[in-house]
Chains A and B, each alone.
Chain A
Amino acid sequence: MAEEEIAAAVELQGLTKRFGADVTAVDSIDLRIEDGEFFALLGPSGCGKTTTLRMIAGLEFPTEGSLRIYGEEMGTLSPNKRPVNTVFQNYALFPHMTVLDNVAFGLRMQKVDKAEANKRAQEAIEMVRLGQMAKRKPNQLSGGQQQRIALARALVNRPKVLLLDEPLGALDLKLRQEMQIELKSLQREVGITFVFVTHDQEEALTLSDRIAVMHDGKFLQVASPENMYERPANRFVADFIGQTNLLEGTVEDAETVCLANGARVSVANDKAEGAKVAVSLRPERINVHALDDKPDGPSLEGVVSSVTYLGTAHSYRIAMDWMEIEVREENRPSRGHFNAGDSVLISWHSDGVWVVDN
């Protein structure tokens, strides 16, 4: 029992999946997902997210490595013997069964008494607020409703771990945001460990307790959303999570980086002297000033090359002779905005920047 408590919900060690000789979809990853965590796997298309998830579900067997769920080695255990359930990207609802039969399927397979299975399935359908739809076939539901039924079908089994493969991918923005909120509150309610695959960084940031950024079958960083955003481990992560400007330069000392145009900026860093780095400057952390309004602290001079109105903000592209920088400045009615062709100064607070390896 004591051992049970310290066991991670999911523990991967050196997990590798190769397809044939030359495709390594997942390349020796190590990961510990804690009990009750909302964990996001984030990365660009083809980086191995789905493959990782499928290995946890047992739909794909690893080529090498260890995969434990609550301390138990899964090996090549078949999917029906694992305490996990999946919400598939395309929902994969059974087209020839009613919504109720879909949701009750898992319970019936586990030999739950028929009346009991139906009762629990009906409850699960009500939990996702589709109580009146129980008698329908999946093709008589909208995309968002199908998604919710897929969720109910998995959750009704009370799996120890719920795997979700881009469950909101097919929904439009508004519905997606609603579902995100619903998903999050549902997860808190049921307390089940969620492993959530997405390639939408915003979704990962809003929903999860921790995020793993994946690239080419490897994890680049595993961290909380805030750490991921504020202290990205490398250039790829900095660029992938949110938007950023990467100013190339060389480390001079622990306090200073010499940028590629020769400007010295003071930024705290832990890199070796002389290391090639990039200074990550988030667009919303940069201030724009007129030329005669010299800010204190580091600043660079440039010319506004384009202005985009975003509703809540203005986005400027500011051209300097060595690179272009993107700046986002929140709109306030009392303040005007700059126009294309204006010469400006940009500045930032020294705590708003972060140095990554180049």
Chain B
Amino acid sequence: MVDTESVNGSPVTPELEKAAERADSRRGFLLALPALGFLTLFFATPLVIVAIYSFATRNRFGGTDLSGWNLDSYRRLGEPIVRDILYRSLFLAFITTVICLIFAYPFSYYLATRKESVRNIMLVFVMIPFWTNFLVRNYAWRVLLGNGGPLSQATEAVGLGETSILFTPTAVVLGLVYGYLPFMVLPLYASIERIDWRLVEASRDLYASGWTSFRKIILPLSMPGVIAGSILVFIPSLGAYVTPELLGGAKTTLLGSYIVTQFLTARNWPAGAALSMVLMIVMLITTIIYFRKDGKTL
């Protein structure tokens, strides 16, 4: 006999289809719940706290009064010292990004056009620096660039005299480029590797020279990688703390160090929080621009 009670195996009606779809999305939500919970607790909450503090007031004892809400901390960002730091950080992050791009593009292109086995080996080389602690690597750079260090010795040996670039913006940029180059290489490699080479052949067949093919086909099609890599380098460079601290010395304060100073030394938490918010908003805007343009292909 036909079992009219059973849901499974009865004819489908629009209501039943809806119910099934809802059940499906419930299951999806349950699966996402652990990660959602974790992010809410440990990411969103501190973010809200920072936001609240940025509107608060520092009291005389270096504590924070949450009662008097105002925009004073944001106004302070217009002060020449803070503005200079902001501009300097943006500039160095920009330079770092451009240099990373210039180095990484040809390398990624080369990588993407190699045999599978060669690629994998080279990708491992790109990752090797990650196997060592970031702090340790920055100290290594200090030795490398320091007075009487290998770099200085080398320039002296070829008759260019000593170099002392440690504790200059140049050293910071060098360190940042070194630290974030892999973040540029990987998305670039991924996007170049995905390009259909038959399109390049088609353009060659249509009278484009090798260079023109690159400009008209490969470059536009690898744009998602260029943008993703640039964001991945620009954002952490802008907020970098360790590298500027160790290689930049006291003369070139950047955003990261300045924020830390506000929290730890000046004990002006609202100022530090406001600066952090600004930093975050800059990053948010860049990221949104990216996702609006080509985010699907990240």
Q: How far is the CA of A90 from the CA of B196 in the complex (A)?
A: 11
Q: How far is the CA of A90 from the CA of B212 in the complex (A)?
A: 22
Question: What's the minimum C-beta distance from A87 to chain B, rounded to whole angstroms?
Answer: 10
Residues of A83-126 whose CB lies within 8 A of B: 84-86, 88, 90, 92-96, 105-106, 109-110
Residue of A whose beta carbon sits closest to that of B221: A96
Q: Is A59's CB under 8 angstroms from B205's CB? A: yes
Question: What's the minimum C-beta distance from A145 to chain B, rounded to whole angstroms?
Answer: 17
Residue of A whose beta carbon sits closest to that of B207: A109
CB-defined contacts of B202 to chain A, threshold 8 Å: 86, 88, 92-94
Q: Is B205's CB under 8 angstroms from A79's CB? A: yes
Residue of B whose beta carbon sits closest to that of A156: B206
Q: Is A59's CB under 8 angstroms from B204's CB? A: yes
CB-defined contacts of B208 to chain A, threshold 8 Å: 80, 105, 109
Residues of A43-59 whose CB lies within 8 A of B: 57-59
CB-defined contacts of A85 to chain B, threshold 8 Å: 205-206
CB-defined contacts of A93 to chain B, threshold 8 Å: 202
CB of A153 within 8 Å of the partner chain? yes
Residue of A whose beta carbon sits closest to that of B220: A96
CB of A315 within 8 Å of the partner chain? no
Residues of A302-330 whose CB lies within 8 A of B: none
CB of A198 within 8 Å of the partner chain? no
The interface on chain A, measured as residues whose beta carbon lies within 8 A of the other chain's beta carbons, has a size of 23
Partner of A86, one of B199, B205, B209, B210: B205
Q: How far is the CA of A290 from the CA of B26 in the complex (A)?
A: 71
CB of B231 within 8 Å of the partner chain? no
Q: How far is the CA of A316 from the CA of B93 in the complex (A)?
A: 79
CB of B201 within 8 Å of the partner chain? yes
Question: What's the minimum C-beta distance from B155 to chain A, rounded to whole angstroms?
Answer: 43
Residue of A whose beta carbon sits closest to that of B196: A92
Q: Is B198's CB under 8 angstroms from A90's CB? A: yes
CB-defined contacts of B220 to chain A, threshold 8 Å: 96
- Binary contact readout A47-86 vs B (1 if CB under 8 angstroms, 0 otherwise): 0000000000111000000000000000000111000111
Q: How far is the CA of A286 from the CA of B9 in the complex (A)?
A: 54
Q: How far is the CA of A143 from the CA of B209 in the complex (A)?
A: 29
CB of B232 within 8 Å of the partner chain? no
Question: What's the minimum C-beta distance from B199 to chain A, rounded to whole angstroms?
Answer: 5
Q: Interface size for chain B: under 10, 10 to 19, 20 to 34, or 35 or more residues?
A: 10 to 19
Q: How far is the CA of A154 from the CA of B209 in the complex (A)?
A: 17
CB of B123 within 8 Å of the partner chain? no
Q: How far is the CA of A106 from the CA of B209 in the complex (A)?
A: 11
Q: Is A92's CB under 8 angstroms from B207's CB? A: no
Residues of B217-260 whose CB lies within 8 A of A: 217, 220-221
CB of A157 within 8 Å of the partner chain? yes
Residues of B186-220 whose CB lies within 8 A of A: 196, 198-199, 201-210, 212, 216-217, 220
Residue from A80, A93, A105, A157 whose CB has the most chain B CB atoms within 10 Å: A80
Q: Is A105's CB under 8 angstroms from B206's CB? A: yes
CB-defined contacts of B204 to chain A, threshold 8 Å: 58-59, 78-80
Q: Is B198's CB under 8 angstroms from A92's CB? A: yes
CB-defined contacts of A92 to chain B, threshold 8 Å: 196, 198-199, 201-202
CB-defined contacts of B217 to chain A, threshold 8 Å: 94
Q: How far is the CA of A122 from the CA of B196 in the complex (A)?
A: 26
Assess A80 versus B209: contact at CB under 8 Å? Given A94-B217, A96-B221.
yes
Q: Is A153's CB under 8 angstroms from B206's CB? A: yes
Q: How far is the CA of A153 from the CA of B208 in the complex (A)?
A: 14
Q: Is B203's CB under 8 angstroms from A94's CB? A: yes
Assess A106 versus B207: contact at CB under 8 Å? Given A96-B220, A96-B221.
yes
Q: Is A105's CB under 8 angstroms from B203's CB? A: yes
CB-defined contacts of B221 to chain A, threshold 8 Å: 95-96
| A-B contacts, 23 listed (Cβ < 8 Å) | A58-B204, A59-B201, A78-B210, A79-B201, A80-B204, A80-B206, A80-B207, A84-B205, A86-B205, A88-B198, A90-B198, A92-B196, A92-B198, A92-B201, A93-B202, A96-B220, A105-B206, A105-B216, A106-B207, A109-B207, A109-B212, A157-B206, A157-B207
16 additional contacts (CB under 8 A) given A58-B205, A109-B207: A58-B204, A78-B209, A78-B210, A79-B201, A79-B204, A80-B206, A80-B209, A86-B205, A88-B198, A92-B196, A92-B198, A92-B201, A95-B199, A105-B206, A105-B208, A109-B206
